[in-house]
A and B are shown apart, each in its own frame.
Chain A
Amino acid sequence: MALDRWIALIFLGICLVYGYTAWFTMDANLAPFMKRNPIWPSTFPKALSVLAIGASLVILLGIEKSEAKEPEIDYRRLHEYKLGQAIVLLCLMVAYAICLRPVGFIISTTSFLFFGAFVLGERKWILMASIAIINTMTVWYLVQQVLGIYMRPLPGFLGG
């Protein structure tokens, strides 16, 4: 089974759960006076769940024929592309999200830009470090001083 039909199966699962909630469980805690309303919070989701289940079944069962196109990236040969780099970069983004608050903006951003370039194969250390630091400081200045959005610059124990 091709990837797009697997995805349709996943969508079908999500929509079944969504539809079950809309049709059977959601109306239970509706206030009595709201039951006299012609529209309930569940009315629109009910209609959506039917439509979505229908559309995902059409894809899953392959009712609509589509001509095969040359994709930009063939997922069947994903390992031939630079998959490792992409995964490490995604991990780096997760680490950035976790570190941003406790470690502070300046340290986490500088290291994100530095290690991002490192993962992609750059090895000019001084250039990497200076670009990362200069850009972090510029962005921090713009966000904090010009736009006035608070960002904790340094970790708490350094007084940030």
Chain B
Amino acid sequence: MLEGLLIGLQTAMSFQNLAMVIAGCLIGTFIGMLPGLGPMSIIAIMIPVAISMGDPSAALILLAGVYYGAIFGGSTSSILLNAPGVAGTVASSFDGYPMTKKGKAGKALTIAAIASFVGGTIGAILLMIFAPMLSSVALLFHSAEYFALMVVGLSAIAAFAGTGQVAKAILMTVFGLIMATVGEGTLFSLPRFTGGIMDLQTGFGFITLAMAMFALPEALFLVLKPKEAGSAGLEIKDLRITGKEARTIAPVIGRQSLQGFFIGVLPGAGATIASFLGYAVERNLASNEEQEEFGKGSIKGLAAPETANNAACTGSFVPLLTLGIPGSGTTAILLGALIALNISPGPRLMIDEPQIFWAVIMSMFIGNLVLLILNLPLIPYIAKILSIPRNFLIPFILFFTLMGAYIGQNNATELLILVGFGVCATALKFSDYPLAPLLIGFILGGMLEDNFARSMQLFDGISFIWERPMTLGLLIIAAILIVLPSFRARRARLRAEGVADGD
């Protein structure tokens, strides 16, 4: 591990990569503050830039910096304006905005900065410890287990979608897989489902789909429903926290770093779930008079989600880097970028390309430090971006989505596909269909089918499912994950009607 650390330090400390961390954090923080642009859209916009750099470690470092920056920047607009730019920071606005209304905006931002810093740093240390362990286990995996593991990942994403949403999430995931089968499959070299259209021969463009699913609907929502913005006359003072306050939030930050990290590791649960769960847990653990404070400007209620979402961001890199399975929409986009750079994340990554793996981890430490330095003294200036009029902002967001799709493929037809899919995605968003599962399904589709085909060929049929116990076990877990939420919802409903009280 020490050797790996040194390799990582050497790579991360190069001038280019240091510049990438700083640039990524800055870009992420600035764009993350804009309501409507989450880490997913920002990373989707940044991918063409990252891919054209050609150096995978620099690209991954840049994108990881953007990811933290976005989560961090989102908390700024949550706290100052009650306008969370990112889903993962919605929970920060519960107590952050009341603090701003009380005139404690400076203190709230300081707490957010410190909590995020500690959460991210502890997350990176845990990543360092757990990723090699997980990846040595993962090396025992066979293509059959990979297939089963991806099924588990996909069904976990569906299962975490929430009550009453499981069928929709499953449909979107399967539809993503269906879209991935369009074009030429790697194992067969036969065009499938193209309908004779030449442009579909290579399949749908991943960046086009990412832009159409996330950035475009968000921008259209901003057009349709102008949110009230503007922070005129907002004073930022009283930056320091007292020793007593520090002692109050220290245990919260400690607990939430661990909890957030492990939630982030689970596929399907990302920063959003980690932050809500962190808020809920800390509220339950607090004493009675402190519970009264929650929602009215409690420092504990602000520190908990801020720590948890940053730790979860780091945690979500574990399945990505060790198993090659993205746990969230954002890491799914990162996975797509890595594949475009000819790196296949998985257990072999740490052996074949150790400099990439360790450089990313080292850049996490550097990135967290950069963010802390950035957030503390620069907050009053950073907040100025919130006053860009939306009349100028929205055309730019639209332009950047178009540019992102165009630069990747250099094909103007792709732009028409983008607009078409964007409209469809907006309709799906209206009717509460989750969009992230579709993209995750699309990205995993090719790998899922390849591993499935490989194990079918090795075992000359479907028998690998029962001949390999690990595969069978994983597939059973996947089935349970899908059935469980609807089963629990049904029981809760029956209990509400007073039927199932007997057991």
Contacts and interface: CB of A to CB of B under 8 A. Distances in A.
Interface of A: 2-4, 7-8, 11, 15, 18, 21, 26, 34, 37-39, 41-45, 48-49, 51-52, 55-56, 58-59, 63-67, 69, 71-73, 75, 78, 81-83, 85-86, 89-90, 92-94, 96-98, 100-101, 109, 112-113, 116-117, 120-122, 131, 135, 139, 143, 147-150
Given A81-B225, A122-B392, A93 B415 contact: yes
B415 A2 contact: no
Interface range on chain B: under 10, 10 to 19, 20 to 34, or 35 or more?
Answer: 35 or more
B213 to A, nearest CB: 15
B72 to A, nearest CB: 24
A101 B411 CA distance: 9
Contact of B174 (A48, A78, A120): A48
B453 A44 contact: yes
B181 A67 contact: no
Given A4-B431, A52-B178, A66-B164, A21 B49 contact: no
Contact of A96 (B49, B390, B402, B453): B402
Contacts of B403: 139, 143
The secondary-structure label for the interface of chain A is helix
Which 9 A-B residue pairings sit nearest by Cβ, starting from the closest? Answer: A66-B164, A116-B395, A97-B415, A4-B431, A55-B171, A122-B391, A75-B430, A81-B224, A39-B456
Given A44-B453, A71-B432, A100 B412 contact: yes
A11 B431 CA distance: 13
B270 to A, nearest CB: 19
Contacts of A49: 178
Given A37-B457, A45-B181, A147-B52, A93 B174 contact: no
A73 B225 contact: yes
Nearest to A102: B412
A143 B399 CA distance: 14
Interface in B394-422: 394-396, 398-399, 402-403, 406-407, 410, 412, 415-416, 418-419, 422
B427 interface: yes
B178 A120 contact: no
A87 to B, nearest CB: 10
A149 B419 CA distance: 22
A39 to B, nearest CB: 4
Contacts of A26: 192
Interface in B183-197: 185, 187-188, 190, 192-193
Contacts of A58: 167
Contact of A147 (B49, B166, B402, B419): B49
Contacts of B177: 48
Contacts of B190: 41
A64 B167 contact: yes
18 contacts: A3-B431, A41-B185, A41-B188, A44-B452, A45-B178, A48-B174, A48-B178, A51-B170, A72-B221, A72-B225, A82-B226, A90-B419, A101-B412, A112-B399, A120-B394, A131-B392, A143-B403, A147-B49
A45 to B, nearest CB: 5
Contacts of B229: none
A55 B221 contact: no
B449 interface: yes
Given A26-B192, A72-B225, A7 B174 contact: no
B223 interface: yes
Q: Which of B190, B390, B461 has the most CB of A within 10 A?
A: B190
B499 to A, nearest CB: 15
Contact of A94 (B188, B419, B428, B489): B419
B433 interface: yes
Interface string B480-503: 000000100100010000000000
A94 B416 contact: yes
B460 interface: yes
A86 B220 contact: yes
B168 interface: yes
Given A38-B461, A39-B456, A52-B174, 14 more contacts: A11-B171, A21-B193, A41-B187, A43-B456, A48-B174, A55-B170, A65-B493, A66-B164, A67-B163, A72-B221, A81-B225, A82-B226, A89-B394, A93-B418
Nearest to A72: B221
A72 B84 CA distance: 13
Contacts of A3: 427, 430-431
